[in-house]
């Protein structure tokens, strides 16, 4: 009797768990474009880890948003984040015959098991002379997760922008406390934070990734206007950092005031020492 009872409980538990798993919808595609537009995924915690290649003669529009899916028994299923994700409403333009890089960080928002995954993004054709004008389609980039979060690796070189040059200054005013971060935008462009903060440490003449930190949304929603300053709060003391030289990195987009589309992207850093 006990064996049957345990079997029934086990089956009910499996049914309950399965009901929370949502099967991914079929991909929206435009067959005529599928061979000429592609998307690739690099290291999980690497900046610019998604590459979009547009070999068409048309402009494409996408956003910073994405979904994550996991393959199981030849089917794809949605992977739910720990908490609901809110993405900045920002249009990203992929120019004709070009490559566009952007960043997504699944490990910051999901509890991943080892397995086969894909990033899924939606695009829209934005060239009015295209027969597919205003039509939408989706791309996926596959990757395998083996449990290695690739932390404590050498970081990528800083990205600069000729739009703002040296007219944007980022400062860590203190390791904790209200408004301990300051961003001064003395450029003529609007800015928008594109992803979470990254803490890096200087060791043997190289910068290494220590940790990805709180979402960049602490700068508050909306655009950072030209010739303004904005403050944010991020407690760095809770990390229990050892003595050494560190820097906090954040990437910002240069935004066109009229269309509110992304013109360029660049990194800001603020260096500090811990005795």
Q: Do 196 and 105 meet the contact criterion of CB atoms below 8 Å apart?
A: yes
Residue 104 lies in a domain: yes
Query: 22: Cβ–Cβ under 8 A, 6 or more apart, which residues?
Result: 77, 78, 80
Distance CA 250, CA 268 (A): 5
CA 201 to chain CA centroid, nearest Å: 21
Residue 14 lies in a domain: no
Per-residue pLDDT at 77: 95
- Whether 39 and 136 map to the same domain: the answer is yes
Per-residue pLDDT at 190: 92
pLDDT tens for 147-160 read 665 444 677 889 99
Residue 42 lies in a domain: yes
pLDDT tens for 221-239 read 568 899 999 998 888 887 7
Q: Among 103, 130, 145, which residue terminates a domain? A: 145
Q: Report the CATH number that the domain containing residue 36 is assigned in CATH.
A: 2.60.40
What are the residue ranges in the chain where pLDDT is below 50?
1-19, 150-152
Distance CA 198, CA 217 (A): 13
- Whether 178 and 128 map to the same domain: the answer is no
Domain extent at residue 206: 168-274
In the chain, how many domains are there?
2
Indicate the pTM of the whole model: 0.56
- Whether 189 and 137 map to the same domain: the answer is no
- Residue 12, helix vs strand vs coil: helix
């Amino acid at each position: 009797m006990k064996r049957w009872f345990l079997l029934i409980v086990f089956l009910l538990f499996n049914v309950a768990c399965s009901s929370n798993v949502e099967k991914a919808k079929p991909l929206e595609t435009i067959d005529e474009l599928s061979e000429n537009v592609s998307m690739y995924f690099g290291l999980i915690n690497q900046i610019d880890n998604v590459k979009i290649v547009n070999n068409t003669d048309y402009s494409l529009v996408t956003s910073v948003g994405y979904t994550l899916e996991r393959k199981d028994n030849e089917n794809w299923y949605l992977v739910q984040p720990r908490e609901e994700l809110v993405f900045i409403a920002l249009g990203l333009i992929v120019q004709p015959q070009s490559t566009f890089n952007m960043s997504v960080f699944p490990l910051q928002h999901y509890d991943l098991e080892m397995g086969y995954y894909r990033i899924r993004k939606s695009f829209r054709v934005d060239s009015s002379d295209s027969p597919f004008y205003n039509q939408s389609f989706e791309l996926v980039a596959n990757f395998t997760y083996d449990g290695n979060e690739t932390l404590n690796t050498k970081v990528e070189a800083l990205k600069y922008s000729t739009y703002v040059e040296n007219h944007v200054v980022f400062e860590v005013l203190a390791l904790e406390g209200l408004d301990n971060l300051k961003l001064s935008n003395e450029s003529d462009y609007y800015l928008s934070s594109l992803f979470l903060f990254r803490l890096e440490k200087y060791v043997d003449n190289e910068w290494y990734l220590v940790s990805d930190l709180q979402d960049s949304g602490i700068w508050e929603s909306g655009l950072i206007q030209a010739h303004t300053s904005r403050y944010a709060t991020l407690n760095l003391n809770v990390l229990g950092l050892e003595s050494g030289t560190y820097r906090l990195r954040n990437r910002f987009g240069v935004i066109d005031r009229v269309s509110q589309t992304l013109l360029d992207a660049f990194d800001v850093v603020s260096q500090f020492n811990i005795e």
